[in-house]
Amino acid sequence: MSSPFTEQHEQFRKTVRSFAEKELAPHVEEWEQKEIFPAREVFKRAGELGILGAHYPEDKGGGGGDVWFTVAKTEELPRAGMAGVTMALLVQSDMATPVIADLGTKEQIDEFLAPALAGDKIAALGVSEPAAGSDVAGIRTVAKRDGDDYVLSGSKTYITNGTQCDFVTLLAKTNPEAGAHGCSFFLVPANTKGFGVSKKLRKIGNHSSDTAELYLDEVRIPKRYLIGEENMGFMYLMQNFQSERLVACTSATASGFYALERTIAFGRDRVVMGKPLVKREYWQHRLADHAINLEAGKALSYKCCEAYQREKYDLKTALSMETVKLISMAKVFVAENIGKLLDDCLQFHGGAGYIEEGWVARAWRDQRLLRIGGGTSEVMRYYVAKIMGM
């Protein structure tokens, strides 16, 4: 396919790259060790640069761009060198906010979306629970109507930005008897009485981002914080998941290219038994295979983005099953091959790859989430098989 990027996209790409390399990357060691980063400062700066809302309509606080602005952003943020901050920013711009942009009232957009895109408010997405991850039908958080309010009770876990967020775009059961099709989306301000952080969770990777378990104890919110229609949340979520999986694919692929580039550079200088390591035929073949898989993953991801751009108008308009299948395929293909690539990158670096201070160990740890977050590889395969009629 011909390049989808215009001069405007490339200028935006340069802005994101500069932000990642000059304003984020210098803090890698500090934020990774603290297992948190100064979200208010970072999000505000990203908002000022137009990074958070480039692909949203101007009348909703965005830059009026298309999906390829999102791709450019996801391909450059990995240059910060820490997937935790990249993930936190993408939760803000591409996971917790699309449903507000597509279905939110003017009041919801003014109160939540526009400030989030400007970096003035920090958003989180509240779907997963201790007993329900990829199987969304199993969520137990409930929202009961009480006059002009809803009262929410339950818990959420694995919530990125959870300890620093100003609001959560949260899925709850409004009709428990209906299973998955009895869910609704709500906007829940973090300062609401009864809402809180149970604990900050420690993770294998993505150390620089904060991940939390949240509780809701009789949290009362006004009816105007319901997003879209009651009991339509599952359908909205399934559409919202597609954008989440797309940014995971494009971001991970870019991370893979970056890791391969740095690994080859290391191999040019690393002499083993009288020859640069990169000149060893075994490693040439291994790294060439990874380059092939990266190009294939990029092509598949771009094909998905092209279909998404063509079909996606709002969350009331479902993507075709063919596009959902392709996105699920891309998620599996990219995530699993990135895992193999980073494993080889670590092996290639030998002892240096096993040292915490090195970038390789961090990248190796961080990539493991890709086979879990946004839908496990097993669930993605299930969707592919189901759409294929199996």
Amino acid in the structure at residue 1:
M
Are β-strands 142-146 and 149-160 bridged in parallel, bridged antiparallel, or unpaired?
A: antiparallel
Q: Extract the tokens encoding 133.
A: 């991850």
Catalytic residue among 32, 76, 111, 244: 244
DSSP output for 227-245? ESSTT-HHHHHHHHHHHHH
Catalytic residue at 7?
A: no
The phi and psi torsions of 182 (rounded to 5 degrees) equal -120, 25
Amino acid in the structure at residue 243:
S
DSSP output for 168-225? EEEEEESSGGGGGGGEEEEEEETTSTTEEEEEEEP-SS-TTS-EEEEEEEEEEEEGGG
The phi and psi torsions of 218 (rounded to 5 degrees) equal 55, 50
CA atoms within 13 A on the CB side of 14: 5
Distance CA(266)–CA(261), nearest Å, equals 9
Distance CA(242)–CA(304), nearest Å, equals 10
Amino acid in the structure at residue 97:
T
Distance CA(350)–CA(272), nearest Å, equals 11
Active site (catalytic) residues: 244
